[in-house]
Amino acid sequence: MPLSIENSDLHKRIHKRDHSVLKKEEADQREHRELHLCIVNMMPAGALKPTELDFLLPIGQASGALQIVPHFVRIEGVDYGKHHDYIMENYNSFDEIKKIAPDAMIVTGANLPSGSPTEPPFYNPMDKNSQLYKALEEIIKYAESNDGPTSTLYSCLASHAYMQIKHDAPRQKMQEKRWGNFEHQNTSITHPITEGISSHFMLPHSRWNQITWEQVLDAEMKLLAYSDEAGVLLASSEDGIRAILMQGHPEYSTTALLKEWNRDLGQAMKSRISGDDISAPIPPLPANYFEGHSLTLAKKFQDQVLSGEYDEQIKQSRLIMPKHIEKQILDAVPNRHSSVSNDILGKWISSVHNITHYDRGKPFMENLDPDNPLNLPQDEPIYSPVYFPE
């Protein structure tokens, strides 16, 4: 919840450092209610339930006294496999969500089909003829409308879909998977989502494709955080809030990269063992994640997998790291990103709360400029190749 300052001189001084701080009379005019958050969960079976927690826990922990009411969305016609009954009981259709009129929305990333018969058929969200792409077109159209939420956060692959659908800017294929923990630079010290966070900080990425900072600036969007190694982390629509693109993964728990590496290692070995691809590449270790004892343990486990010690398990189901090995590795993995992750997600939801109309279904308070509802300064420099040389 933002500060409210009665002392006009103090407010003037503190507002230069934190634009969310209110004058006392501004705070007195505000009515408070719960904030309704819609999450479009596009993750497949294995990651569907963990993704719920990955987003809700940091937002809940960072939201203070603000009451958050989450609603989850199902994509009609998609086979959710073993989670079908759970989805039908706990997730809403998109038409139901529009009646709820959420204040904020998150669209998660999506893993493309691995070819495994145990995975539900989630369709390629980047294929214009796919069911999921058409669903995303409808979601983005609603998010951009006057009846839509105050802000929509597009995570990872969803940010790529947004750029293609909204700005006709297709993502670019990278030569290798970019994943691990990477250092970022805060490139917008006045935007409320990045205002006050460290000038340089670590956060995870995990993807084979990217939207570039050139595409962000060509679309007249605001670049909020960037990494020389990993590329764009955060960007916003020109107005600063209606669309927030999050190409990295602030929502990742400390265990996420380990489980993803274990999954990719198992898939590569399954392709080799089955003969589908006897030269399937072994995934690299995630960057800046394992170190010291955790690195030694991870390499030892990989050597055991490559030597055939887990072949029978892989043939029968999937590679499962023994619990005692997983615990030893995680005990030795440094947590470098949780605090800034909570800060970013918390600042996003707080920003939404600060400008959202008390009446449900209205994105902004009536005294705000819809083209600049955050009242961002217009003289902040635009970051360009001068700042980020190739």
**Tokens encoding 68:** 């958050």
Catalytic residue from among 11, 36, 156, 337: 156
| From 160, 251, 260, 337, active-site residue | 251
Tell me the HSE value of 220 on the side-chain side, using a 13 A CA sphere.
Answer: 5
Catalytic, 15? Answer: no
Annotated active-site residue 83? The verdict is no
Helix ranges (H only) for the chain are: 8-15, 24-28, 45-62, 84-90, 94-100, 131-143, 157-167, 213-218, 256-274, 293-306, 311-316, 323-332, 338-355
Quick one: which H or E segment has residue 172?
strand 172-186
Length of the chain: 390
- Taking the alpha carbons at both ends of the chain, their separation in whole angstroms is 40
In the block, tokens 């990217």 appear at 210
- Please give the Cα distance from 353 to 204 (Å, whole number): 26
Task: State the CB neighbour count (10 A cutoff) for residue 12.
Answer: 11
Greatest CA separation found in the chain?
73
Task: Confirm whether 251 is a catalytic residue.
Answer: yes
Catalytic residue among 191, 249, 337, 353: 249
C-alpha distance from residue 266 to each of 278, 310, 367 (Å): 13, 9, 55
Q: Directed axis angle between helix 256-274 and helix 323-332, to 10°?
A: 140
Catalytic positions, please? 156, 249, 251
